[in-house]
Amino acid sequence: MALKADDLNVGDTYSECLVEDLKRTQIVQYAGASGDYNPLHTDEIFTVEVAKYPSVFAHGMLTMGMTGGMLTNYVGDGRLTKYGVRFTSQVWPGDTLNSTATVESLQDGLVNLVVETTNQHGVKVLSGYAQARID
Amino acid sequence: MAVEKFPVEASHIMMFARSVGDDNQIYYDDEYAKTTEPGTVIAPPTFAQSSAQFDPDYFLRPKIGEPWFGSGGQPTGITRSASGGGGGGGLHAEQHFEYHRHVKPGDVLTASVGPGKTWEKEGKRSGKLVFSETVTEYRDQNGELVITARGVGVRTERPVDQ
């Protein structure tokens, strides 16, 4: 399951589709599980009429959480040592997200990855890095 | 957010994994988890964020008997000052985790928040941006540091242009 240093090369990539046609209900699920009940994510009336956004939008942490699933599928369970992101654009209901990890460097039993998640328009919504232990 | 007691529970991990669309059975099935390298159910990488559930003062959760800024009969349940776009305390700009070990059901964590920087920037799509950073240390029942988290929030002058 875990990655082996001998099999990895700088520039290797691993990609997954994280979600197709993101549903508002999944955003509600994330609100309930994470405890972040900001109405910007679940309350269309508040978000449109008070906050002045076109609709509710996903928690950045939902995108980070979905991207984290791609990472653990790639590097194996319990192998991550670092994972950090910037949220570069909002994610809306109906979005389809694809995520890619690219091997940036290998050192002393660790792999450093560049992480990027984009929407169906090719707009980057998350950009970050991860580090994992390898065999 | 400071949290005195964050009990890590299997059902919470399951619900969290469902919500991020992660069907890795290590988050759902303790029998399966025994066959994995960690040998136990562990929490997904961003699970620590749900410590909000255990913060008694978390401002993005409705409190019993208190006004809530989301809609009811009216678009908002409170009278708001015109303090910037976004509503609800701004937007999340960055999040970083460092894992010293991966937490598992049965762990009881504390979270303490240290001081972070604040800075400003002029944004193209949302006017003046005020960034503020928080560093949170999660420690286990033995006082060992398990996760270091750094979050950056941003308050925008107006809603982000689409």
The alpha carbon of residue A130 is apart from the nearest alpha carbon of chain B, in Å, by 9
Domain around B100: 80-156
What end-to-end distance do the CA atoms of chain A give, in Å? Answer: 10
Cβ proximity of A13 and A101 under 8 Å: yes
Mean pLDDT of the B38-49 span: 98
Summarised one tens digit per residue, pLDDT across range B74-114 is: 999 987 554 444 454 578 999 999 999 999 999 999 999 98
Q: Which amino acid is at A49?
A: E
Mean pLDDT of the B11-21 span: 98
pLDDT at B88: 46
How many whole angstroms separate alpha carbon A68 and alpha carbon A31?
17
What end-to-end distance do the CA atoms of chain B give, in Å? Answer: 31
Chain A residues 84-103 with CB within 8 Å of chain B: 84-87, 90
Banded model confidence at residue B126, pLDDT cuts 50, 70, 90? confident
Angle, helices B10-19/A60-75, rounded to nearest 10 degrees = 100
Say whether A40 and B87 touch across the interface (CB within 8 A).
yes
What percent of chain B stands above pLDDT 70? 93
Cβ proximity of A105 and A10 under 8 Å: yes
ipTM: 0.97
Chain A residues 22-81 with CB within 8 Å of chain B: 26, 29-30, 32-40, 43, 45-47, 49-54, 59-62, 64-66, 68-69, 71-73, 76-81
Q: What is the mean pLDDT of chain A?
A: 97
How many whole angstroms separate alpha carbon B11 and alpha carbon B30?
11
How many whole angstroms separate alpha carbon B105 and alpha carbon B12?
9
Which tokens is A26 given? 């999944």
pLDDT at B23: 98
How many whole angstroms separate alpha carbon A30 and alpha carbon A36?
8
- What distance lies between CA B77 and its chain's CA centroid? 24
Is residue B109 a part of any domain in this protein?
Answer: yes
Is residue B137 a part of any domain in this protein?
Answer: yes
Which tokens is B74 given? 């009216």
How many whole angstroms separate alpha carbon A87 and alpha carbon A89?
6
Domain CATH code at residue B95: 3.10.129.10
- Would residue A86 be called left, alpha or beta, if left means φ above 0 and alpha means ψ between -120 and 50 degrees? beta
**How many Cα atoms within 13 Å fall on the side-chain side of residue A51?**
28
The alpha carbon of residue B6 is apart from the nearest alpha carbon of chain A, in Å, by 13
H or E segment at A131?
Answer: strand A124-133
Is residue B129 a part of any domain in this protein?
Answer: yes
**Which residues neighbour B35 within 8 Å (Cβ) at sequence distance 6 or greater?**
none
How many whole angstroms separate alpha carbon A130 and alpha carbon A71?
8
How many whole angstroms separate alpha carbon A112 and alpha carbon B19?
27
Which CATH number is A5-22+59-133 given? 3.10.129.10
What's the farthest any 2 CA atoms get from each other in chain A?
A: 55
Instruction: Report domain extents, chain A.
Output: 5-22+59-133
The alpha carbon of residue B72 is apart from the nearest alpha carbon of chain A, in Å, by 9
How many whole angstroms separate alpha carbon A82 and alpha carbon A68?
11
**Closest Cβ–Cβ partner in B12, B62, B162 for A37:** B62
Residue with tokens 């941003």: B154
Per-residue buried b or exposed e for B64-92, using 16+ beta carbons within 10 Å of the residue's own CB:
eeeebbbbeeebbbeeeeeebbbbbebbb
Segment among A78-92, B4-18, B108-122 with least mean pLDDT: B108-122
Mean pLDDT of the A18-28 span: 98
Q: Would the pLDDT of B156 be above 90?
A: no
Is residue B68 a part of any domain in this protein?
Answer: no
Is residue B42 a part of any domain in this protein?
Answer: no
Q: Would the pLDDT of B162 be above 80?
A: no
Instruction: Tally the domains of chain B.
Output: 1
Q: Would the pLDDT of B63 be above 80?
A: yes
What's the farthest any 2 CA atoms get from each other in chain B?
A: 55
